[in-house]
Amino acid sequence: MNQAADIGSLIVLTPEVRSGRARIAGTGVTVRRIVEWYKAGLSPEEIANEIGHLNLAQVFAALAYYHANRQEIETDIALENELAEHLEAKPASVNDFGS
């Protein structure tokens, strides 16, 4: 007989891993990463297939966490996008290439 999974244990936040971002327990995969792929149009099944070491329950747990904590994840995504835009707009210097 299969033992029921404790859904609450599927998502963890630990300060020393991934800067304390919510992630799938036992992995380095953040909720933010799952949400970004979901928003890009991938289904939960496709995400689980793409990240082969995740199962469907873990992907759904990440999406449930997102829906329960939408503001936290949306703020994290926005900050990451702002940082990426800033870095892309920054002119490259000789020091950036280690020369």
* pLDDT band for position 6 (cuts 50, 70, 90): confident
Report pLDDT for 84.
Answer: 84
Dihedral sign (CA 29, 31, 33, 35): positive
Q: What is the mean pLDDT of residues 86-90?
A: 82
**Rounded Cα distance, 16 and 38, in Å:** 26
Digit-coded pLDDT (tens) for 13-51:
998 888 889 999 999 999 999 999 999 999 999 999 999
**Rounded Cα distance, 12 and 30, in Å:** 9
CATH code for residues 7-89:
1.10.10.10
Percent of the chain scoring above 70 in pLDDT:
91
Report pLDDT for 27.
Answer: 95
